Structure 1
Amino acid sequence: MTDLERRIAGLACWRGPVTVAPLLGGLTNLSYVVADAGEKFVVRCGDDIPVHHVFRDRERAASIAAHAAGLSPEVMHTEPGILVMRHVEGRTFSEADLRANIRRLAPLLRKCHLSVGQHLAGPPNFFWVFHVIRDYGRLIAGSQSPFAVDVPRYLEANRTLEEAQVPMPVVFGHHDLLPGNVLDDGERLWLIDWEYGGFGTALFDLANLSANGSFEEAEDEALLYAYFGGKGPGDLHRAFRAMKAASALREALWAMVSDIHLRIPGADYKAHAHDYLNRFEELMAR
């Protein structure tokens, strides 16, 4: 048993002897499933990551608010570097699942955008993808990253994509809709992992879902109609296409920064960066 596993096994929230097993697949945090007195819990372990604008007190507040809104598992215990939640039996989505479940995901996002912020306590995050890209660009440009040479081109594209945006209401969004952050228990969907939860606009979550699910044009149309019902702002489609490209670029730059600053077993950040750069280039070509 590692020192971290011993720390988890000794948390004061447990009712008896526990078993601790690694939960594989995360790109940022170490997670474990703990069995205690016939119940299961997920323990997320990680400190603040300032280079990614991740602050655990705000993730904790967003997770608690998302549970109160009926979207996320209950938070049972927190302490520095530790977040304990009830385990939900189910499966995480794949990209194909995102594409196949647009009619379930659109109302889930509407509920998120309308409800989570109403339950939030304490100082919030604000998420504006174009600022994130600029900040990531500065970090990468000042490093020895093999991607640094292309940062000026990425930042110029970022400027163009930001100019295509249209005014929209401020809502509370998830902002990290990778397939693995959507959980299906067979009856309903859950949103998990609120590291980037904060106020922004609905368009990023929609575009992020589309970019991460490799949606085609017909699926994008279905998503926008399911969410807006034909009542979106003018130039919505142009703004959405630009936001989708920005989402892919942000994910690529996230991986580049992670390659510099993070070490998570099994995470191949360079491959992740290349995957999302390919998506970004394809979206820009359209």
Structure 2
Amino acid sequence: MTPDEAIKTARALPCWTAVSAAVPLDGGITNHNIRVTDKGRDYVVRLGQDIPEHGILRWHELSLSRAAAEAGLSPQVHHVEPGALVIDFIDSVALTENDLHDEATLMQATDLIARVHRDMPRYAHGPILAFWVFHILRSYAHDLRERGSRHTPQLSGLLDEADMLERAVGPVDLVLGHNDLLPANILRAEDRLWVIDWEYGGFNSPLFDLGGIASNCDLPRAAEEAMLTRYYGHPPDTALWRSYSAMKCASLLRETMWSMVSEQTSTLEFDYADYTDKNLNRYRAALAAFTDKDT
């Protein structure tokens, strides 16, 4: 679907009364996002089908979107039909990596993550998927081999590293996580932060969201310690820091292998090869730091 086709599809949805504008929004590398103005009120239309290779099932995204809205964490759902999800538009700006290097913003984001983990299960109902990163990594490796990926020669080594990281993570608490905390999925409105995009939500360790936001923003050690202290209510001890660091590496490896798969399967206009290289370099750096401290 081209951007023009996406706009045409968004405008044609039956939920509108008098559309006056429809423009594409930045972001979105698994779907098209269109801002639609109807009778003076703005909405966001998310257009996308199931993506089984990434575990994206739109019925599940809808269920979590509704739960997050009821919890006051995400915009309200306005309309849904196959291939389209319409939510309220929030007058806001998406956070950037640099924003989360500001201590006050990072603490606000940490509080938001804690609310997701604490409050979401109270509002979710029906089937909810699990999101265990190490299972996902093994599934990605299988798919990459089946498709003859250019990355196949390095998969055995990456899986060996994943096995080591899974052992290092150890036993985990279980929360309902977001599991895709790119800074752009956190919106800053005038008075608060919001979280959007529930494609990958599911039960997981809280360390995945915490490690994900740290790795996606390249946070320094002091900021990571402040984030963990805010979340847990006490500074991280040696065991927590090791488990967290291993999960942070795993989150980077998942983003890398997600992009490897997307190089072959996605039809969106996005430079996945460059995204793979960027995240692979981040993963290698994080793994080197982890193994250096672990020896």
Please tell me the TM-score bracket, short chain as reference: over 0.9
Of 33, 50, 53 in structure 1, the residue corresponding to residue 52 of structure 2 is 50
CA distance in 2, matches of 1:233, 1:220: 13
- Residue 14, structure 1, aligned to residue 16, structure 2: yes
Structure 2 SS opposite 1:161: helix
Residue 282 of structure 2: aligned partner: 279
The 3-state SS of whatever aligns with 2:150 is: coil
Q: CA deviation at 1:232?
A: 6.2
Contact 2:6-2:34 at 8 Å conserved across structures: no
CA-to-partner distance for each residue in 1:242-270, whole Å, 9 max, x for gaps? 001111110000001011100112x1101
CA RMSD of aligned residues (A): 1.5
The aligned counterpart of 1:39 is: 41
CA distance in 2, matches of 1:213, 1:20: 31
Structure 1: any 5+ residue segments left out of the alignment? none
- Residue 218 of structure 1 is matched in structure 2 by 222
**2:196 aligned to which of 192, 197, 204:** 192
1:10-159 alignment to 2 at 5 Å? 10-100=12-102, 101-159=105-163
How far apart are 1:231 and its partner, in Å?
7.2
Q: CA deviation at 1:24?
A: 2.6
Which of 175, 184, 203 pairs up with 1:180?
Answer: 184
Aligned pairs, number: 285
Q: Which amino acid aligns with 1:14?
A: W
Whether contact under 8 Å (2:225, 2:235) holds in the other structure is no
1:159-178 to 2 correspondences below 5 Å: 159-178=163-182
In structure 2, stretches of 5+ residues that fail to align are 290-295
Could you report, residue by residue, the CA deviation over 1:23-47 in whole angstroms, capped at 9, with x for unpaired residues? Answer: 1322111110001001100000000
Q: Counterpart of 1:95 in 2: which secondary structure?
A: coil
Tell me, yes or no, if the aligned pair for 1:40 and 1:87 is still in contact at 8 Å: yes
Moved more, 225-234 or 7-16: 225-234
Task: Return the letter of the residue paired with 1:42.
Answer: V
Instruction: Name the amino acid aligned to 1:197.
Output: G
Does the 8 A contact of 1:166 with 1:236 survive in 2? no
1:7 Cα deviation after fit: 3.0
Tell me the amino acid that sits aligned with residue 225 of structure 2: E
Between stretches 209-218 and 97-106, larger displacement belongs to 97-106
- What percentage of residue pairs aligned between the two structures are identical? 38
TM-score after normalising by structure 2: 0.93
Moved more, 79-88 or 24-33: 24-33
Deviation of the 1:17 alpha carbon: 3.3
Summarize the alignment of residues 223-262 of structure 1 with structure 2, pairs less than 5 Å apart.
223-230=227-234, 235-262=239-266
The Cα shift of 1:3 comes to 4.4
Question: CA–CA distance in 2 between the matches of 1:121 and 1:145?
Answer: 38
Structure 1 residue 230: deviation in Å? 1.6
Matched residue type, 2:240: L
Secondary structure of residue in 2 paired with 1:235: helix
Which residue identity is paired with 2:73?
L
C-alpha separation in 2, matches of 1:233 and 1:58: 36
Partners of 2:5 and 2:250 in 1: CA distance: 40
Kindly state the Cα deviation for residue 234 of structure 1 after the two structures are TM-superposed. Answer: 6.7
Indicate yes or no: 2:207 matched with 1:203.
yes
Deviation string 1:31-87 (CA, Å, 9 cap, x unpaired) is 100010011000000000000000000000101101111110111000000000000
Q: Distance in 2 between matches of 1:242 and 1:276?
A: 16
CA distance in 2, matches of 1:136, 1:233: 33
Deviation at 1:2, TM superposition (A): 4.2
